[in-house]
């Protein structure tokens, strides 16, 4: 009898001991460090296609040991690097954060060329090598970002005690993902590969960054990539795994140099891997070269996560990792044509010339005025406002004139540009597809200042793509798989699923190891992290908290409790140096067995804000 009683008591106590709540609070360093990892131009299906290739705990950290969402789609229609990174960080789309493109025309700031999303002549670049080939260049800042980021909110909540940094090969990816309050953002000088920053953040590089630049790491990366010392680092080393390792080595130097994860509050680091985008534009998503780079990235991440486990106090038990991408990519048009997809290319210069001719015929017969600005790219076509105003045309009339002329201009393009190479031509010859217009929207329509947006999911994608930046413009949406350019390589910019589909994964002690089916969005990242850390969501956030990813025993400590405890510690006794916790076994071996669930019907992300179906048309 007593034996049965002891067995019963033991059975009751066992689940209690295995369900100790995991703490979550930015105010007392639970976790020590949040790392938001963004892979540039990385469609989610890469992880499905190549999953059998993955070894160790790179991508498997999220696929096998984290909360993973394979059905993550952006809910807007201008899928480019600057806009994607801004959406991840702010939890809002272009209509909320202001970033629509990598660059746009702003005639008040520059009449000779488009401005970039982050350039800022009020500052200057710091850290440029003294080679004589790098004249002083204007700096950069998040001046165009109209919302706070999740990192900003952690900094605000901790009164600046938290540290926030951003890293990428690209300036826009480093700056926009980190935010306004960042202690620093670092990107590379394209020619030399040296990491640089802006006087917006600091008057000069910190010693640890200078030491890194003066080391032989850039030379080692060039050697690994097999390129010469005189070649452009970004163009030649950039599309290789040598650049990935170089960037992660810099991240390690930053973590050690700034003592990230060593304080009394949570620190935030954003890392954007650019190499997949640099190579992807050249070879497309279906190339063996891109598959090889994805496999190599898996190994790079495995090494980086292992390094974190050994160098952040308490190891990965005190680190949260987030994985996502800024956008997907369309297949190379010729590759899609081979399988019968009506893919086509849209040469932009002939298109702009046709539209300019139409405007001259209508508003200034016999003249050759520029009604459209040069250096155009989709999805936004920028109007030359002074030319229209001199003709007495207001914004409503000018945008409508261009909008109404686009179908004829598209139809006038030379169809021979879309004949695929013989090397990819299907065995049964087919008529080459021609570019077609799906929808067009004026800036005023996107801003809801005049009727035009359909009351559908597709209309919501368009509304989320509005920005006041760029003056007057018309948004052009061609048919699916039709892209601007010459047809060489691949690109991204559209509202279609192949551009919007990205991975979303969380790893950390507070997250459930499970695969969740059902539509979610990258803007849910900021909302979820804010809820767990006990801070405000970013100022324009529209994301939902992914409660299904959160371990049911997580204890979210109220801010008031954390602050009371911290105040008591500060006033009652000297603060002791933190003692690193004992390292645990590699996390992959200690995570629970993986489950797959489909909770979409019960989650706000899936029911209230489901992205449009890729082929769905109003």
Q: What are phi and psi of 410, to 5 degrees?
A: -65, -45
Q: What is the CA radius of gyration of the chain?
A: 26
Q: What is the DSSP track for 549-573? A: GB-TT-EE--HHHHHHHHHHHHHHS
Contact of 355 with 406, CB cutoff 8 Å? yes
Measured at the CA of 461, the angle between CA 463 and CA 599, to 5 degrees, comes to 130
Q: What are phi and psi of 105, to 5 degrees?
A: -80, 130
Query: Cα(160)–Cα(184) distance, rounded to whole angstroms?
Result: 13
Contact of 100 with 467, CB cutoff 8 Å? yes
What is the structure's pLDDT at 556?
65
Query: Cα(382)–Cα(379) distance, rounded to whole angstroms?
Result: 10
List, for the chain, all residue ranges whose pLDDT scores fall below the cut of 50: 1-21, 132, 423, 427, 560-593, 599-618
Q: Reduced to 3 states, what is the DSSP secondary structure of residue 93? A: coil
With DSSP H G I counted as helix, E B as strand and the rest as coil, what are the percentages for the chain, rounded to 5? 40, 15, 45
Q: Among 7, 248, 27, 264, which Cα is nearest to 156's?
A: 27
Q: Among 59, 57, 31, which Cα is nearest to 45's?
A: 59
Q: Look up residue 357 and give its DSSP letter.
A: H
What is the structure's pLDDT at 451?
77
> What tokens were used for 336?
């899609």
Query: Cα(333)–Cα(614) distance, rounded to whole angstroms?
Result: 17
Contact of 273 with 244, CB cutoff 8 Å? yes
To the question of pTM greater than 0.75 for the whole model, the response is: yes
**Mean pLDDT rounded to a whole number for the chain:** 87
What is the structure's pLDDT at 8?
43
The number of beta carbons lying within 10 Å of the beta carbon of residue 461 is 24
Q: Within its chain, how far is the Cα of 554 from the centroid?
A: 28
- Which strand (E) or helix (H) includes residue 222? helix 217-225
Return the CATH number of the domain spanning residue range 23-332+499-574+584-607. Answer: 3.40.720.10
Contact of 151 with 90, CB cutoff 8 Å? no
Spatial neighbors of 320 by CB under 8 A, at least 6 apart, are 31, 33, 34, 35, 506, 507, 508, 510, 511, 529
> What tokens were used for 325?
């991408």
> What tokens were used for 440?
């067009």
Q: Look up residue 235 and give its DSSP letter.
A: I
Q: Each residue of 278-293: pLDDT tens digit?
A: 999 999 999 999 999 9
Largest Cα separation within the chain, whole Å, is 107
Query: Cα(493)–Cα(330) distance, rounded to whole angstroms?
Result: 9
Spatial neighbors of 87 by CB under 8 A, at least 6 apart, are 74, 76, 93, 94, 97, 326, 522, 523
Q: How far is CA 14 from CA 9, 10, 350, 555, 594, in A?
A: 9, 6, 72, 20, 21
Tell whether omega for the bond before 384 is within 30 degrees of 0, i.e. cis: no
Strand order in the sheet with 380-382: 380-382, 473-478, 437-442
Contact of 254 with 209, CB cutoff 8 Å? yes
Q: Among 36, 35, 47, 40, which Cα is nearest to 83's?
A: 40
The structural architecture, per CATH, of the domain 333-488 is 2-Layer Sandwich (3.30)
What is the structure's pLDDT at 138?
86
The number of beta carbons lying within 10 Å of the beta carbon of residue 35 is 25
Q: Among 279, 271, 194, which Cα is nearest to 235's?
A: 279
Query: On the CB side of 357, how many CA atoms lie within 13 Å of its CA?
Result: 9
Q: What is the 3-state secondary structure (H, E, C) of 121-170?
A: EEEEEECCCCCCCCCCCEEECCCCCCCCCHHHHHHHHCCCCCCEEEEECC
Tell whether omega for the bond before 31 is within 30 degrees of 0, i.e. cis: yes
Query: Cα(470)–Cα(380) distance, rounded to whole angstroms?
Result: 9
What does the chain come to in residues? 618
Task: Give the domain ranges of the chain.
Answer: 23-332+499-574+584-607, 333-488
Q: Which residues pair with 33 in a beta bridge?
A: 267, 319
Please list the alpha-helical segments (H only) found in 464-593: 497-500, 524-533, 559-572, 587-590
């Amino acid at each position: 009898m007593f034996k049965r009683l002891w067995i019963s008591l033991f059975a009751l106590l066992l689940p209690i001991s295995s369900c100790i709540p995991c703490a979550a609070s930015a105010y007392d360093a639970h976790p020590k460090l949040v790392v938001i990892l963004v892979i540039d131009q990385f469609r989610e299906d890469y992880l499905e296609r190549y999953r059998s290739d993955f070894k160790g705990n790179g991508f498997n950290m999220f696929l096998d040991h984290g909360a993973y969402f394979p059905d993550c789609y952006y809910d807007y229609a201008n899928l480019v690097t600057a806009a994607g990174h801004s959406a991840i960080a702010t939890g809002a789309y272009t209509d909320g954060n202001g970033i629509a493109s990598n660059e746009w025309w702003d005639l008040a700031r520059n009449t000779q060329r488009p401005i970039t999303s982050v350039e800022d002549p009020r500052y200057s670049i710091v850290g440029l090598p003294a080679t004589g080939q790098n004249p002083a260049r204007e700096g950069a800042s998040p001046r165009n970002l109209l919302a706070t980021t999740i990192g900003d909110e952690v900094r605000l909540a901790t009164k600046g005690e938290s540290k926030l940094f951003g890293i990428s090969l690209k300036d826009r990816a480093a700056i926009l993902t980190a935010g306004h309050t960042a202690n620093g953002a670092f990107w590379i000088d394209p020619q030399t590969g040296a990491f640089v920053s802006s006087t917006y953040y600091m008057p000069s590089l910190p010693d640890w960054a200078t030491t890194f630049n003066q080391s032989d790491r850039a030379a080692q990366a060039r050697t690994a990539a097999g390129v010469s010392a005189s070649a452009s680092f970004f163009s030649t080393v950039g599309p290789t795994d040598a650049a990935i390792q170089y960037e992660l080595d810099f991240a390690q130097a930053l973590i050690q140099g700034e003592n990230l994860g060593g304080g009394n509050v949570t620190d935030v680091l954003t890392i954007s891997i650019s190499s997949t985008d640099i190579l992807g534009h050249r070879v497309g998503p279906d190339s063996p070269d891109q598959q090889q780079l994805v496999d190599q990235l898996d190994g790079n991440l495995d090494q980086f996560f292992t390094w974190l486990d050994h160098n952040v106090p308490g190891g990965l038990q005190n680190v949260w990792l987030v994985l996502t991408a800024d956008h997907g990519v369309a297949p190379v048009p010729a590759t899609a044509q081979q399988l019968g997809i009506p893919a086509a290319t849209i040469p932009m210069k002939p298109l702009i010339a046709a539209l300019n001719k139409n405007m001259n015929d209508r508003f200034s017969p016999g003249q050759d005025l520029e009604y459209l600005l040069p250096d155009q790219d989709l999805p936004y076509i920028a109007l030359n406002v002074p030319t229209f105003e001199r003709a007495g045309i207001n914004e409503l009339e000018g945008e409508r004139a261009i909008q109404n002329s686009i179908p004829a201009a598209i139809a006038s393009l030379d169809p021979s540009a879309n004949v695929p190479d013989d090397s990819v031509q299907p065995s049964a010859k087919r008529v080459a597809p021609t570019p077609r217009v799906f929808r067009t929207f004026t800036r005023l329509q996107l801003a809801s200042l005049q009727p035009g947006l359909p009351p559908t999911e597709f209309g919501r994608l368009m509304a989320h793509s509005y920005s006041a930046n760029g003056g007057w413009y018309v948004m052009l949406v061609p048919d699916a798989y039709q892209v601007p350019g010459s047809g060489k390589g691949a690109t991204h910019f559209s509202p279609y699923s192949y551009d919007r589909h990205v991975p979303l994964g969380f790893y950390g002690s507070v997250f459930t190891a499970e695969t969740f089916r059902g539509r979610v969005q990258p803007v849910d990242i900021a909302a979820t992290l804010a809820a767990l850390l006990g801070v405000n969501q970013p100022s324009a956030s529209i994301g939902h908290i992914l409660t299904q990813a959160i371990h049911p025993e997580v204890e979210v400590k109220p801010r008031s409790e954390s602050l009371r405890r911290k105040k008591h510690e500060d006033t009652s006794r000297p603060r002791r140096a933190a003692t690193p916790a004992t390292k645990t076994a590699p996390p992959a071996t200690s995570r629970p067995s993986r489950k797959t669930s489909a909770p979409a019907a019960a989650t706000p992300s899936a029911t209230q804000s489901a992205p449009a179906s890729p082929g769905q048309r109003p």
